[in-house]
Amino acid sequence: MKQESNKIIFFPKQKEEIEHNAFFAMKEKKFDKGLRYFEQLIDHGVNDKDIILGKLTCLIELGREREAEDMCEELIAEKDENFFSYINIYATLLFQSHKHKDVAQLLEETLGYKEIPETLKSQLEKLYDVNQPLVDEQIEQEAKITKRELVQAFDKDDHLAQWHLVNHLQNTDIRPYIILFEEMLQNENVHPVIKTVIVGLLQAQSIDQMFKISKFGSEMMINPSQFPYMNEHPFRLKLRQELTDFEQDNPIFYQLSEQIIDRFFQVSYPFSPEIKELNIFKDAVISIVKSSFEQNVIVEDKNISTDLRAMINQIIEIEKIYFSIMDE
């Protein structure tokens, strides 16, 4: 909201007349006309609090809430002497727009300041108290809608919708989804990457019960609260250790190797190769990365062993599965 120094400044009489016209138009509920006057004043360097509030009022009355919100954000960013007044206006505007979670976040941050004027502090605290039950209600309503949409996506085998919805559940109480997750983890039609995300959600909230997981015709039982996270899986840690030399000597090669390994685990986890397969898995990753530089068709190379070729093919197939959900 700061103005450039080369703006033409009104003569006092001009300024007084336009201010009178602006507030009179607002009083007469001619908000479009009032807005033009307020913008004219601001464009000419008049940034008094009353003028700013007048423009905000006109924007809100005209239904241009998004512009009013943007204006509040700009005013708050300037951190001038009216900082807390603008926060109060912004919080009220968000409340009126039913953006209750945004209100809660804004007020939680603001009420941590020690220098809030006492009159404004009581207003902000009151708004926070009134808003909080509505936050809980909004979260509960959103959870019901998300669960309903996820059930529909599961019934329709809509992988992309499932992918977006389970990722949307980060930082959400997933207890209402446990029964649905049990079904999805066992259903072979659910994309394996989605199952990996679900396992991660269960781990993040330390869900302490057994789940059966099916992938590629294999089954296993895990307790998410006790099973190692994907990036902390013993096979994954040992593999990273085996590739440490590349990190120093050839960072690009190491980065590409890490990406292939990460994608492999995004698809296969919580399943993983056995530790005895570590060396052949590492050799397969190295062969694939080398091939990306040399543009060789490594699976046709007659100098590699049958086991290595099989592992290379397995990793390449996993790559295709990983990218398939992005292509839907």
pLDDT at 81 (0 to 100):
87
Question: Average pLDDT, stretch 271-280?
Answer: 93
Tell me how far apart the alpha carbons of residues 291 and 272 are, in angstroms, rounded to a whole number: 24
Strand partners, 214: 219
Tell me how far apart the alpha carbons of residues 272 and 215 are, in angstroms, rounded to a whole number: 11
What single-letter DSSP state applies at residue 227? Answer: S
Name the token pair of 328: 């839907």
Residue written as token pair 């700013």: 52
What's the pLDDT tens digit per position in 90-141?
999 899 888 998 999 999 999 988 889 888 899 999 999 999 999 888 888 8
pLDDT at 245 (0 to 100):
78
Cβ proximity of 200 and 273 under 8 Å:
no
Position 295 confidence tier, pLDDT thresholds 50, 70, 90: low
Cβ proximity of 74 and 1 under 8 Å:
yes
Residue written as token pair 């602006």: 22
Question: Average pLDDT, stretch 151-161?
Answer: 93
Packed helices 278-294 and 306-327: angle between N→C axes, nearest 10 degrees: 70
What's the pLDDT tens digit per position in 171-208?
888 999 999 999 999 999 999 999 999 999 999 999 99
Q: Hey, what CATH topology would domain 12-133 get?
A: 1.25.40
Between 297 and 48, the more confident residue is: 48
Q: Give the end-to-end CA distance of the chain in Å, rounded to a whole number.
A: 44
Range from 35-39, 73-77, 215-219, 246-250 carrying the lowest mean pLDDT:
246-250
Tell me how far apart the alpha carbons of residues 158 and 166 are, in angstroms, rounded to a whole number: 12
Tell me how far apart the alpha carbons of residues 150 and 158 are, in angstroms, rounded to a whole number: 9
Give the residue among 172, 173, 174, 154 at the shortest CA–CA distance from 162.
154
124 burial (CB, 10 Å; 0-12 / 13-18 / 19+) is buried
Strands (E), 157-294: 211-215, 218-222
What single-letter DSSP state applies at residue 304? Answer: S
Cβ proximity of 116 and 125 under 8 Å:
no
Residue 7 has pLDDT above 70, yes or no: no
117 burial (CB, 10 Å; 0-12 / 13-18 / 19+) is exposed
Give the residue among 306, 300, 308, 314 at the shortest CA–CA distance from 261.
314
Packed helices 278-294 and 234-242: angle between N→C axes, nearest 10 degrees: 50
Tell me how far apart the alpha carbons of residues 49 and 42 are, in angstroms, rounded to a whole number: 11
Sign of the dihedral defined by the CA atoms of residues 217, 221, 227, 229, in that order? positive
